[in-house]
């Protein structure tokens, strides 16, 4: 049995519904283009600026990364209020909090984006006690698939983690391949909950401790965590 003492969560597409596809489609519609899963899975998990460059390189629309991000931010601000926790999320987060299991968020979203999303989901994010690491935080040098976000997230919970250490007591929940790779490079155990449209890398699947269809399918006691009440 995997013994878990600390749990780390990605956010968009894992804890909350992902509004980025809708925002990108609103921008691309002006040029008669559509945001596809082929493109989405290439940029999932990247830091904001890196993802913007990859997006624009693919679609070749006449926008600078700065202009694209400004416009996307405006559209996202309209969509964030409608982003809800995904199935099974509230149950697990509340359960871990009730049993004093240290939990944190480690997200590729910027701090500004996190503030907007969390303001409409206070019931969920109050359980994290402010333990949230964002890609725009000054001490984060590299985005996923580098391990920086997860190592910093674990450190925010009082652990002294590093790439060279055995961090298998940390359990990472991720939805993106880039995030999965980051968790693995951080030498942590990873539960992958991919979107049903995502093409899975079988080698990456084998390296995860579990691949689930939904957070609802997670069984805490399989990972040394307190079981759900009967």
CB 10 within 8 A of CB 179: yes
Cα separation, 164 vs 129, whole angstroms: 28
Cβ atoms within 10 Å, residue 215: 22
Confirm whether 195 is a catalytic residue. Answer: no
- The burial of 33, by beta-carbon neighbours within 10 Å (0-12 exposed, 13-18 middle, 19 or more buried), is given as middle
- Find residue 43's DSSP bridge partners: none
Confirm whether 12 is a catalytic residue. Answer: yes
Cα separation, 10 vs 150, whole angstroms: 9
CB 190 within 8 A of CB 201: no
Angle between helices 20-28 and 65-79 (to 10 degrees): 120
Q: Of 12, 18, 50, 175, which is the active-site residue?
A: 12
Residues acting as catalytic residues = 10, 12
């Amino acid at each position: 049995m995997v013994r878990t003492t600390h749990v780390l969560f990605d956010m968009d597409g894992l804890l909350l519904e992902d509004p980025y596809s809708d925002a990108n489609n609103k921008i691309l519609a002006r040029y008669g283009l559509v945001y596809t899963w082929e493109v989405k899975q290439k940029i999932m998990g990247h830091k904001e600026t890196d993802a913007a460059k990859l997006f624009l390189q693919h679609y070749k629309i006449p926008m600078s990364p700065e202009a694209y991000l400004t416009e996307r931010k405006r559209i996202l601000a309209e969509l964030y209020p409608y982003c809800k926790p995904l199935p099974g999320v509230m149950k697990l987060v509340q359960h871990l909090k009730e049993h004093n299991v240290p939990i944190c968020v480690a997200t590729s979203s910027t701090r500004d984006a996190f503030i907007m999303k969390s303001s409409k989901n206070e019931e969920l994010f109050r359980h994290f006690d402010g333990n949230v690491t964002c890609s725009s935080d000054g001490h984060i040098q590299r985005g996923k698939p580098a391990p920086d976000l997860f190592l910093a997230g674990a450190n925010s919970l009082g652990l002294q983690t590093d790439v060279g250490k055995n961090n298998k007591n940390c359990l990472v929940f991720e939805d993106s391949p880039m995030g999965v790779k980051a968790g693995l490079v951080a030498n942590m155990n990873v539960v992958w909950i991919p979107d049903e449209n995502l093409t899975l890398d079988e080698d990456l699947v084998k390296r995860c401790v579990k691949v689930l269809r939904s957070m609802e399918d997670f069984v805490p006691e399989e990972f040394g965590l307190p079981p759900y009440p009967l």
